[in-house]
Copies of this chain bind each other. A is one copy, B any other.
Amino acid sequence: MKKKSRKRSGKPTLVDVAEAANVSAITVSRALRNPEAVSPTLRERIQKSIDSIGYVPNTAAQALASARTNVIGIIIPSLTNSVFADVIRGVYDAIEGTPFQVQFGNTNYSPIKEEELLKLFLGQRPAGLLVTGAAQSPEALQLLRANGCPVVQIMEKIDDPIDMLVGFSHEDAAAEGTRHLISKGYKKIGFLAAQMDVRTQQRIVGYERAMREAGLYDPRLIVTTTKPSRVSLGTPLCAELFSRVPDVDAVQTNNDDIALGALFELQRRRVSIPDEMGICGFNDLNYCQVSHPGLTSIRTYRYEMGKRAVEMVIAAISGNRPEQPVVDTGFLLVERESTQRAGQS
């Protein structure tokens, strides 16, 4: 008759390994975390037991006992948007070879979801966090500040981050694209956007600023939808723009997918690019340089933001907080055929 015993996990534990190897549990623990601290003989015997038993350390017990985790939580609005795909590549490249692991959370552009995720993540006592943007809800801010682990905000730029920040100004970037179109002699420049998240709004502000500066601003030129962005949205957005302003002669888009969709739609309508119509995208995704014609776009450094942010959070976790907590990754206008109108500067 056994004692009052609870439901065990059923999986082998450190003690099981220890018994099989005829050592104490702590020795097995050491053999795993710090092999040099255990004699080669024992090390080998222990490894054999581990293999034969099929032991896998219980992360929860480790975390509880050590009061630490190696989890870096990353909260982004979408895993499937190609913009964040590049950020994620950067994250993985930075995490590679470190003892840390990443845990992604997808807010699907919802502030409520963001708060829920934040609570979920904080429950894991993460070593550090990456969060997207600088527009957290007051509750989210409260949670982050109270928790105290290193936090890096990414993608946007503000001057007073929660903790650290890696981003760029979407407003300035969009303004630069629009000014480029203006400099090429385009006058009726539309703005096409989907998704309408915070950063999209910032881009619209930048577009507006540039248009007003040139005395070209007309609110009818801004065509948006709250639908998630896809290439195929270029068609309806273009159609709407043409119906509002038939003599539109260029578009600045919120991202390259919309730009590519617009390009296809204009080709179908037999509108010649760049002569009758100029296009400037946003992000400079891989296909911009190979499309026909090539797409002018505003390059953003998504991979670098992900990589840099992880490097910074790891540095902070390790006690080497970067002396410069705000990093501006900037942007770059890349001019290609879609705006290379003959006879213009």
Contact = CB atoms under 8 A, between A and B. Distances in A.
Contacts of A8: 67
Given A79-B85, A231-B286, 13 more contacts: A7-B67, A54-B142, A60-B64, A60-B125, A62-B123, A79-B79, A92-B106, A232-B289, A234-B290, A235-B290, A260-B287, A264-B287, A264-B290
Nearest to A70: B120
Contacts of A260: 287
A286 B92 contact: no
A120, A234, A235: most-surrounded residue (chain B CB, <10 A): A120
Contact of A267 (B120, B231, B292): B292
A63 interface: yes
A53 to B, nearest CB: 10
Closest 9 A-B residue pairs measured CB to CB?
A80-B85, A60-B63, A231-B287, A267-B292, A59-B123, A60-B60, A9-B67, A60-B64, A264-B292
- Interface secondary structure of A, over-half rule: helix
Nearest to A104: B104
A49 interface: no
Contacts of A122: 56
15 contacts: A56-B147, A59-B60, A59-B123, A60-B64, A62-B123, A80-B82, A82-B82, A104-B104, A231-B290, A232-B287, A235-B290, A260-B287, A261-B290, A265-B290, A268-B292
B286 A232 contact: yes
Q: How many copies of this chain does one complex carry?
A: 2
Contacts of A261: 287, 290
Contacts of A92: 79, 106, 108
Contact of A88 (B80, B119, B147, B231): B80
Contacts of A287: 231-232, 260-261, 264
Contacts of A142: 54
Scoring A57, A67, A92, A290 by chain B CB atoms within 10 A of each residue's CB, the highest score goes to A290
A7 B57 CA distance: 21
A38 B56 CA distance: 37
Specify which of A60, A80, A234 lies most central, judged by the most chain B CB atoms within 10 Å of its CB. A60
Interface string A42-67: 00000000000010111111111001
Interface string A249-261: 0000000000011
A142 B51 CA distance: 11
B56 A60 contact: no
